[in-house]
Amino acid sequence: MAKQIIRTDKAPAPIGPYSQAVKAGDFVFISGQVAIDPATNDLVKGSVADEARQVMQNLNVILKEADITFQHVVKTSIFLSDMSHFSAVNEVYATYFDGDYPARETVAVKTLPKNVNVEISMTAVVHL
């Protein structure tokens, strides 16, 4: 099984030695995304909800590049700078799904890249 690197200029370029996403067989593994606006390469300033919206938009364009949607997502991992952000991120996150939610964990960590408040990674399946 060969792996395929998924890359789009509509999402932020990786800030390290990793790919935006990798397709292997029927699975697409999307690297953690943070609130970087790909048009400016700057961090989104504002509320935690604003950060979460940018993260989800970045994930959305990577999913589109892989010819799939949020409905194909089977697993997400959410990393927060503080668990007090849980509700705000949850509200934004929920709007991207139709109620058939993927499996998920949400954890608070000491520090995230670029000192952001939210990072989300996803695993999707191509054929449902």
What is the reported pTM? 0.96
Q: For position 98, what pLDDT does the model report?
A: 92
E strands, 13-109, in order: 21-24, 27-33, 36-37, 42-43, 73-80, 103-108
Q: For position 83, what pLDDT does the model report?
A: 98
Single-letter amino acid code for the residue at 50: D
Number of domains present in the structure of the chain: 1
| Per-position pLDDT tens, the chain of length 128 | 789 999 999 999 998 999 999 999 999 999 999 999 999 999 998 999 999 999 999 999 999 999 999 999 999 999 999 999 999 999 999 999 998 999 999 999 999 999 999 999 999 999 87
Structural domain span for residue 38: 3-125
DSSP 13: P
Q: For position 3, what pLDDT does the model report?
A: 95
DSSP 15: S
CATH number at residue 40: 3.30.1330.40
Which are the contacts of 17, defined by CB distance < 8 A and separation ≥ 6?
A: none
DSSP 24: E
Paired strand residues for 124:
28, 73
Q: For position 99, what pLDDT does the model report?
A: 87
Q: How many Å apart are CA 65 and CA 41, to the nearest integer?
A: 19
For the four alpha carbons of 49, 71, 65 and 125, in that order, the dihedral sign comes to positive
Which are the contacts of 108, defined by CB distance < 8 A and separation ≥ 6?
A: 79, 80, 81, 82, 83
Q: For position 29, what pLDDT does the model report?
A: 98
Q: How many Å apart are CA 91 and CA 64, to the nearest integer?
A: 22
